[in-house]
Structure 1
Amino acid sequence: MQGAQRNSLRLLQWMMAASLALPIALFAIASTISYTSTNDIADREIERSLDVAHEHALKVFETIDRSLAELNEVVRGLPDEIIRPREPSLHRRLKRLTDSLPQLKSAWIFDAGGKSLVNSLVSPPPELSFADRDYFYAHIDQSIGTFIGALLTPRPPYQGARFFGMSRRRDSDDGSFIGVIQASVLPEYFESFYARIGSAAGSFFAMGRADGEVLAHFPRLDGNLRLDPGGPVGRNIAANPEHGLITVAWPSDGIERRIGYRRIAEYPIYVSAGLETSAIRARWFVTMGQHLVFGVPATALLFLLLALAFRRTQHLQAEAARRREAEEALKHSQRLEALGQLTGGVAHDFNNLLTVIRASVDLLNRPQLSEERRQRYITAIADAVARAAKLTSQLLAFARRQTLKPAAFDVGERLQSLHDMFATLLGPAIEIVMRLPAEPCLVNADAGQFETALINMATNARDAMQGKGRITFAVQAATAVPDTLAQLTGSQNLSKLGFVSVAVSDTGVGIPAGRIGRVFEPFFTTKQVGHGTGLGLSQVFGFARQSGGEVTVESEVGQGSTFSLYLPRAAPDLLPQRLAPNTAPAVAGSGMSVLVVEDNIELGNFAADGLTELGYSITLVDNATDALAELVVDTDRFDVVFSDIVMPGMTGLDLAQAIRDRGIGVPMVLTTGYSEALSQNGSLGLDVVQKPYAIDELSRVLHRAARLRRVRDGAAE
């Protein structure tokens, strides 16, 4: 006992040390994981921003390029002598073009000497030569297609913002150089767009030529910037000329950033998007700060509680030592009284049984005994022996010395199999109600002793109702267990799988509060002499304790009683093979392209990350309108659409209907936690994955939808 007390104090000391060391270790691990996760999230955010910036720049340059081509067709083959008389009408046309395109500052048509024949700014144009501008002299020697120049400042008398030129060569019918068509593009247009999409702290965008000339920059620069091809940025672009993701100190301000870059197809132009590494770290600090806000007080409180528990335990152990000395003297006298009670009870029952046996033997020795009476006396002896064996078994069960034969069985099935026996045992005046669970409740115990315990509880309930009333048997997985289970020999006795509860309730007279504490004592009974030994409930008590469980009673006088038997639940692998769970593995993505539409960004990232790990190619948008735009731009890009139903604006069902109305052949899978529209209008014949969903389940549904599309497409061919 004293050794156990010392061990408990030592355990508390170790727990106090662990209450500090373990949170620190967990915080360090969580910090590492969170730092990696924060950087991964930042990289994905950069890639998404880069996608937007690239798509925007590509559309702008293509629009300007088409406009230049149209102007070139208007003046193709026309000599300067014909163009000059038409200057007023051409001026108006160029002005309408620049007014319709906010990215343009002006549009020009130059002759072979660099003088303006027509421009969108003034009519008639001043007699100035622009032959020294890069957008002009780049075309003199040869045809190079569309040329994108460096940043320039307007030449007096022209004023306004800086610009860079996009130009094309004018050729005569014989292919000789006769001038240039040029459009002045505003970097401010790109920078304003970057300011709108770069709302996150530390956001960065840039657009520049392949030779290092920076054309647009966010945050904005006061002057021009040209990147050194031999510098860190230039070397990375040279190593990976199409796209890449780098961490570098940006030359304009020396701030370290995480930057992604990508080349615009068919143009010697790169766009880049990024975040300051300090902003990424700030996000990580905020996350870890949130952990500390809750972790530090909780750790301090835990340590304080353990310290108080340590001091309290020391005090209680000292008090317990003083009480033990006083209790030992009292126990000595109580042992003698209990021994007398136990001996008297056992002697009384065994003397009754021995009297039956002795009388039967005497009667069997009488001469001229009929066969019918002989058989009756032999049966009486056999019954007495059986009752004696049962009495011994009950005594051993109470003492927890009975040899049990544990085996796995389903409590519900075993209780159901006893229904007919209960009906015979309890009599027709007692109604039997059984409430059994739908799923198996497996225990590993002695089935015979379990049945005996149920019979004893049922018999006790019958006697409490004087043979008339209702007995209810209820089996369920216990959500709570008695406190005494943790006090038997320590908390390690508690089953990790939980417990199964078997409750036997009656409508009898109930048990007075003063007697509830004695109902499991051996030989304690309220029945008349000769109507019971008082060992029935003590057998239940012994069986429960020996099986690692417990039995409790709740009762109110006049309202009946409920006896609850708790047994440790057995592992699921003890179920028969036919009941074993059957789950299918996740299906690999194999490059399948999925458009994920989810307005909850955290849930969307979860789905995207999980599917990406399975090998899917994911495009994530947060609303149905953008999803429909993605599908209209490139239908063949996606194999399947996975969309939430409940979203602001256009719902998932609206998106599905819009896809059908436009004849887009991409299959669609819906998801929802609850949707009133879905319950009223149906799912349009589409698969619906209920939230919360597992990634394994989702992967199988997506593959099935894509497979059905391939089957339909194959049949159509």
Structure 2
Amino acid sequence: MQTAQRNSLRLLQWMMAASLALPLALFVFASAISWVSTNEAADRDIERTLDVAHEHALKVFETIDRSLSETAEIIRGMSDADIVAHEQALHERLGKLADTLPQVKSVWVFDSRGHALVNSLVISPPDMDFSDRDYFRMHADGDAGTYIGEVLTPRPPYQGSQFFGVSRGRMNADGSFAGVIQASVLPEYFENFYARIGSEPGSFLALIRADGAVLAHYPIIHHEFRFEPNGPLGQHIVAHPLSGTMTINSPGDGVERRIRYQRLAEYPIYVSAGLATSAIQARWIATMAPHLIFGVPATALLFALLVLAFRRTRRLHEEANRRIEAEEALRHGQRLEALGQLTGGVAHDFNNLLTVIRGSVDMLRKPDLPESRRLHYIEAISNTVNRAARLTSQLLAFARRQALKPEVFDVGESVRTLSEMVATLIGARIEIVTQVPDEPSLVNADPGQFETAIINMAVNARDAMNGAGRLTITVSRADRLPSATTSTTSSHGHVAVSVADTGVGIPPERLERIFEPFFTTKEVGQGTGLGLSQVFGFAKQSGGEVDVVSEVGKGSTFTLYLPRVTNDGPPQSLLSSDAPPVGQTGASVLVVEDNPEVGKFAADALTQLGCNAVLVDNATHALQELATDARRFDMVFTDVVMPGMSGIELAKEIRRQGLNLPIVLASGYSQVLSQQGSSGFELLQKPYSIEQLAQMLHKVGRSLTVRHDQAPASS
């Protein structure tokens, strides 16, 4: 009996202790989880704020860079005397430029002595020496590219807000230093923007040079400060030069903050965003305070509620896990269905192609087949193989695994081909009109990216017309770009592709932003805002331009300009009929191919072309052959995808050993090729024909010397 009582008392004591210890333990555990979650949420908030500030700063500095380029273009070829002689016109031009950029206080042109020739503020600037300013001194000492200076105070008689200079050097025709072009940028422009996006209590944003100088910051601190290069932030940037996250005491006000920084593209500038750790702690306390207030007065009740909550939470988690498993099963089924549809479509097309090949082969086996029919079936097999290769290329492009490279192609022919696809894409309620010249309009660009750009402009026009109207695609020749003040730098002009719609048009205040990434006026889910950015990037990377003319209520015209090329020089690839004969060359070729059938075909093809082919099945054997006597080979012809060492690795190893043999790669698909290109080596796409192999031999023919003619004569 006593034992039972002691046991019951002991059990009661354990329950009493547990009624205090368990809630306390649960509260400590919840506090720890909440602390981690609060810090993770704060890091996400900091990262989102930094993304906005980084994108803003990048656009601002790119705009300033373009303004400096425009100023340099205006005074190109002008001497200091010419600039002074045209000071009135240049002052007005620079004034208009500065007025259009709210971040720019003024624009200056200095001579080689540091004296202002013209600026956007006043006519006939005072004869003052600015050569001690860092934005001038850095260019006078050497080529500094685009230099971003420290925050400075205007020198009397000039007044106003502080600024920092963004400058470029001016060079004479002989390469000597001619002076500086400089834009004075307002830190308060950034600080006002930071004040808008940093409304969260404890927010911190800063624009920092790589040497630690602070150009702009929020909140405003009315004294200058900097992050020392050997300080915590400087050391962290050395270890992580592109971006990073850390907790430091800010040198300006001594406040401990959680900050994240990111480098601004190619500029020596870092954008930083952060939150005071006290604000993060306040968030955590605000989250945990209700739990504490609720738990202290009713520990026993809380214990019971926590048990019930735990059981309910466990059931909810189990339910959520079952739901996630069901959704994953559904997504897996949808992926399998989509894969089945794709596989079925590919199988259908390839079965059609194989039917033609199989039927042609069966017909070729018939005895006494007339020569004309034999040639017909051979031509059918060749054409079908080409169609299969194009289908494979389209599948790789769809999967974004195609190695992209520029080609010379006819824009007009490409637009004719695209018109049917565009018609299907934009719907039957929109009338499509194409105006393409009869003569070829050749450009050297990536045709896949070009098609994507045209489709993006067409889709943008469709949305502007709300699915009904007229879309006009025009191909023409342009001798100069609309934004250029002098003749175009392309010796052959440009090919202009205009996409005009009859939609609602674009308001003037939005025209300058339409090419910005992620800028869109569409509703959520109706577009990402990256379509026109792709057109802009493709045009710039191809050496061209994109221009837009729009009138509200009457529609818009987007024009893509690409540098025009002529067919006077050597074409991008020789036609089979143009390939010079390579037979009887006597060149010795080392063929590296792991597939026996493909290797035998390559060796036989080279033999038919008059070459001596040595076939090995892997890169190791190829290196052994070269180590034995590399001089007996005139060229290496290797597959890319092979077990062990790949073809690209083999080619690099041959170069590393100092062997200057021509190397030709062959591949149908390679992940390395799609991501990194062919590393400068010649590439022959599979499947290839004997004619294409002959063209490649001719392309590298200058190195295919007949070695046996150079051998010493026998005595």
Please report the TM-score for the alignment, with normalisation by the length of structure 1.
0.43
Please tell me whether Structure 1 or Structure 2 has the larger radius of gyration of its CA atoms.
1
Please report the TM-score for the alignment, with normalisation by the length of structure 2.
0.43
